[in-house]
Amino acid sequence: MFNEQSNEQSNEQNQQLNSNSNPLNKDKDKDKDKDKSKSKINEAIQEFYKLKAAYESGYEENYVKPILKLKGLSIKEKRSKFQKLPKPKCVNCKRNVGTIFSLKSTNNFTNHTYSAYCGDLADPCPLNIKIVMPNVQLISDILYENESSLGAINLIKIKIIKAKNDLLFGYLKQENAFKEFDELTSSLESETSVYELFLEKFIMTYDNPIEKENLKKEKVELGLNIQEFKNMISEFNKTNNPQIVYNAVEMFLNEIDPKLKKIEKMTYAYNKVEYIEETDTYFLIQKKYTLDQLEFEYEDPKIESFIKGNGALKNKTLKQTKNVTSTTGTRKQRTKPKIQLVLQEEAEEAEEEE
């Protein structure tokens, strides 16, 4: 039998999976909306930590370090000065009442909350930050370590076999055996259902047969285009006909180059050039999967409140993080018109006819 906490966790996983119908077949529009929402939440968390860092470093620079640098004072005298220090300034109203930053987890450990508010509890300023983030778990860990893992399912099967043997050899009464069979069978069906859903998601992430087939087709088409391009160049070397070169360039721009970019996007979920300022070095980072793809969230993240000054953050645009180069994104890609190259002589003849 599973304890109450494991059953609650399994129920939460079932509810989360059922609420999404099937996490493997989400519409692209829903994915884009989710990405936008997650991006906004990430910006809010970054802003939370910026405020926290400014609050802590400001107090240390203005009050703590000057006392530490004082010469000729004993530890007791410095401690006395520390005790007389005023409270830090609130990051919002700038009064010496402090700001309360906290990060707490819920009792069932399904989420954790970032919060910040004015230190003056009697007469607080409008500062009110509350961001609820779900706890996440790697899908691989869910499959092999938690209560819905394959090992746990096998354990239930062993209990069913044991109960049958106890009934067969008279160690268990028939009415008690039927009750235990029903409970174990129900647990087995529930845990197996959750396990199969996570196993399917795991396979579709690491070894998606549909994506593999699509990628294979794109590579075959690219190979045919490259061979045709080579044939054009070979033909030009024999005939010196400039129109063949123009046709080859058109093919590269309209067929080969878009396919190369598409294959690159299908191959790597993360494909960016990152710059390390300390060493003045650029690195190409390519990953088949992102961490988000390999994790499962027990709840949806949300910004319950983000108010600074006299207004809410949700009505403002947060500063975007700049990337050096990005080949992936959520912007809509417009269909580029096909490029057509024309020989200069033909263009001049067309102008004369006009």
**Which distant-in-sequence residues (6+ apart) come within 8 Å of 87 by Cβ?**
96, 97, 98, 119
User: Do 337 and 302 share a structural domain?
Assistant: no
* Sole residue written with tokens 């509810």: 15
- Of the candidates 192, 207, 222, which is a domain's last residue? 207
User: Do 216 and 343 share a structural domain?
Assistant: yes
Q: Which residues of 253-290 are buried (b: 16+ CB within 10 A; e: fewer)?
A: ebbbeebeeebeeeebbbbbeeeeeeeeeeeeeeeeee
Q: Would you say residue 5 lies in a domain?
A: no
User: Do 203 and 241 share a structural domain?
Assistant: no
User: Do 222 and 202 share a structural domain?
Assistant: no
Q: Would you say residue 216 lies in a domain?
A: yes
- For residue 32, the model assigns a pLDDT of 65
Q: How far apart are CA 114 and CA 131, in angstroms?
A: 5
Q: How far apart are CA 236 and CA 245, in angstroms?
A: 7
Residue range of the domain that includes 140: 136-207
- Of the candidates 156, 186, 207, which is a domain's last residue? 207
User: Do 124 and 58 share a structural domain?
Assistant: yes
Q: Would you say residue 72 lies in a domain?
A: yes
Q: How far apart are CA 272 and CA 284, in angstroms?
A: 6
User: Do 349 and 214 share a structural domain?
Assistant: yes
- For residue 326, the model assigns a pLDDT of 37
User: Do 245 and 162 share a structural domain?
Assistant: no
**Which distant-in-sequence residues (6+ apart) come within 8 Å of 227 by Cβ?**
none
Each residue's pLDDT tens digit, 134-188? 877 788 887 877 666 777 788 888 888 888 888 888 887 888 888 888 888 888 8
User: Do 342 and 312 share a structural domain?
Assistant: no
Q: Would you say residue 329 lies in a domain?
A: yes
Contact 337, 42 (CB under 8 A): no
Q: How far apart are CA 245 and CA 243, in angstroms?
A: 5
Q: How far apart are CA 236 and CA 248, in angstroms?
A: 10
Q: How far apart are CA 16 and CA 25, in angstroms?
A: 14
Provide the domain count of the chain: 3
User: Do 339 and 245 share a structural domain?
Assistant: yes
Bridge-based pairing of strands 128-134 and 111-118 is antiparallel
Number of C-beta neighbours around residue 244 at 10 A: 18
Among positive and negative, which fits the CA dihedral 47, 53, 56, 59?
negative
- Of the candidates 191, 207, 223, which is a domain's last residue? 207
Q: Would you say residue 49 lies in a domain?
A: yes
Q: Would you say residue 11 lies in a domain?
A: no
Q: Would you say residue 15 lies in a domain?
A: no
User: Do 249 and 130 share a structural domain?
Assistant: no
Contact 88, 55 (CB under 8 A): yes
- For residue 40, the model assigns a pLDDT of 87
- For residue 22, the model assigns a pLDDT of 46
Q: Would you say residue 7 lies in a domain?
A: no
What is this structure's pTM? 0.52
User: Do 224 and 344 share a structural domain?
Assistant: yes
CA angle 317, 319, 323 (to 5 degrees): 135
Q: Which residues of 33-53 are buried (b: 16+ CB within 10 A; e: fewer)?
A: eeeeeeebbebbeebbeebbe
* Sole residue written with tokens 């005939």: 239
User: Do 213 and 183 share a structural domain?
Assistant: no
Divide the 354 residues of the chain into consecutive groups of 10 and give the mean pLDDT of each group.
45 50 49 73 90 86 78 80 83 90 74 88 91 82 72 84 84 83 86 84 85 93 94 92 92 94 91 89 89 78 84 40 37 53 53 55
